[in-house]
Structure 1
């Protein structure tokens, strides 16, 4: 008798079907191409973009047109290495760089591939068909995305490698922080990680700002020398910071960042506000000759982050506040959406 064909492998995944429609589903694990590896996912961090797809069915102009697996902040172990021999070997613990690059005719600086419109990001509806994410028990990923973790690296800490790389890139936009006074506006996960990165970079003083007490406490544990209530705009304006990292992503935060910067200072804008005009007193930036700098995602900074996590010089532990089994994704997303009670929320697969 002929042998029956092998049944396709399946795994549990977190899938967004539309606004308010998040499902824990069983999905098929597709067969990998020669340059792809199969990764057993250990943890996935819930990002603001994941929350937007869940709550609104869109992130800005990236609108869900079909069900999509969420997630781009993941760590795990190589279950099946790439058949072409590229990438880490079986059993290697890995973090994931979620970007791939496709050719484009649009101009961008060659040394800054994060600015290329040809970038595809895991768990993104920017294009159709959508780029599936990695919130699943097993995922098939290009081996080039995988970053081997040094022996002994804590997987929970490594789950923050991707957002920490966003913060690392943002802090680097300001230049040398040695001995400088840094103001971080918005102490959610990216802001708290920016505090940790700034502390590692030798900042002399770090003032963290948020509307809620819990994020301010997390920022203090991550390295902030003092914290302020965002509602106290006069106190924020009086900080007189050499460098400001704006990570709140709203116009009020940006206004506070501009007012809180010293004359001739630098404001790095990493928080992404909604599309459209933003009411901000730009006159302050002009008359004080502020340097306003955008910061978008990252390039290879994730490699530096992984090294810093491995040697213990980047302390991200306080930023993780909750871990939920993947089966409790609805509860996890609800907690992650409440900035007053949570920092980074992880899903355990």
Structure 2
């Protein structure tokens, strides 16, 4: 049995502008918990927000919190109650659904459950600790065994690709359709890849910078447009638009680029509070506005699609850093002009 240390190096957000790579205590595992040796973790936009602003949307840091929810690794100690055996390579579904205050939600959409918690989230207090640490104690229900032939590094994109897959499912069937993706960061690029796999006839990617547009092209975009070219965006006339910039200007571009009667899937999380929007255009064009938040069981489809090679996402990862250099990794990830997905390695 692998000897588990009492502490390991982790990435902890203390407050706005205060992120530290420091030893964190490895908690005791409960009967339903496995201990996973983390191999890779992807830096997400929410991680960047906790570092830069001390908050992600309305989730505000009230105490130091271990970051990280895009993680893969190997089970080194199985849960006493079962689950994947020691030696099993796994991806991690970071959510734990919960009934919370009892507010209603669709039974088949656990991502909307009011008491849902997520690794590395300050939405509740005490915060839900993340998994940017060499040894993570995780409930067995989060673990998804990886097929033979799918490497841990290639599987490092499972979680964000599941977000993209869920967004595509919210769009409906995109086969044969013209798709517009506004915002070509890692999530936008993964949406392009998922739409390409789903048979979209045309995929137009929009961004401010060259590197994201080059990545989008590599994973399936048939055409790219600069975000500043409002006339070209309006001329796209897309059947389905994905807004993945998380910016009200991107949402305006999404409305303008949608065809009459088209569907706009809102994936990028805009800041909390009121936001300006071209609602009159949505009304007169009878646009269907659809929200997309995290994912449910799409993670299982993503794992299979990565394993069989039908979902091609290699170009999305642009940088890799050891966990000791996490500060440099986050600096790279915050520069969307020169990076895609940035990975931390924990080996």
Q: TM-score, normalised by structure 2?
A: 0.97
Paired position in structure 1 for 2:85: 89
Q: What is the CA–CA distance in structure 2 between the aligned matches of 1:269 and 1:83, rounded to whole Å? A: 41
Q: What is the CA–CA distance in structure 2 between the aligned matches of 1:276 and 1:144, rounded to whole Å? A: 34
CA displacement, residues 20-42 of structure 1 (integer Å, 9 cap, x when unaligned): 11111111211210110000000
Q: What is the CA–CA distance in structure 2 between the aligned matches of 1:334 and 1:233, rounded to whole Å? A: 30
Shift of 1:276: 1.6
The count of corresponding residues between Structure 1 and Structure 2 is 343
1:218 to 207, 215, 218: 215
- Within-5 A mapping of 1:199-218: 199-218=196-215
Paired position in structure 2 for 1:252: 249
* CA RMSD of superposed structures (Å): 1.1
Paired position in structure 1 for 2:74: 77
1:154 to 151, 154, 176: 151
Q: What is the CA–CA distance in structure 1 between the aligned matches of 2:38 and 2:63, rounded to whole Å? A: 23
User: SS state of the match for residue 53, structure 1?
Assistant: helix
2:294 to 290, 294, 297: 297
Q: What is the CA–CA distance in structure 2 between the aligned matches of 1:38 and 1:77, rounded to whole Å? A: 9
Paired position in structure 2 for 1:328: 325
Shift of 1:7: 9.7
Paired position in structure 2 for 1:197: 194
CA displacement, residues 50-92 of structure 1 (integer Å, 9 cap, x when unaligned): 000000111122111111100000000001011112x111111
Paired position in structure 2 for 1:180: 177
Distance 1:91 1:233, change over 3 A: same
User: SS state of the match for residue 173, structure 1?
Assistant: helix
CA displacement, residues 185-230 of structure 1 (integer Å, 9 cap, x when unaligned): 0000000000000000000000000000100000000100010000
Shift of 1:103: 2.7
Distance 1:201 1:262, change over 3 A: same
Q: What is the CA–CA distance in structure 1 between the aligned matches of 2:164 and 2:98, rounded to whole Å? A: 25
Shift of 1:177: 0.8
Paired position in structure 2 for 1:228: 225
CA displacement, residues 167-193 of structure 1 (integer Å, 9 cap, x when unaligned): 000011111111100000000000000
Q: What is the CA–CA distance in structure 2 between the aligned matches of 1:209 and 1:62, rounded to whole Å? A: 28
User: SS state of the match for residue 23, structure 2?
Assistant: strand
- Within-5 A mapping of 1:1-349: 9-85=6-82, 87-104=83-100, 105-349=102-346
Tell me which stretches of 4 or more aligned residues in structure 1 moved more than 4 Å: none
Shift of 1:154: 2.0
Paired position in structure 2 for 1:3: none
Q: What is the CA–CA distance in structure 2 between the aligned matches of 1:7 and 1:196, rounded to whole Å? A: 38
Shift of 1:9: 2.0
Q: Which consecutive unaligned segments of at least 5 residues does structure 2 have? A: none
Q: What is the CA–CA distance in structure 2 between the aligned matches of 1:38 and 1:154, rounded to whole Å? A: 19
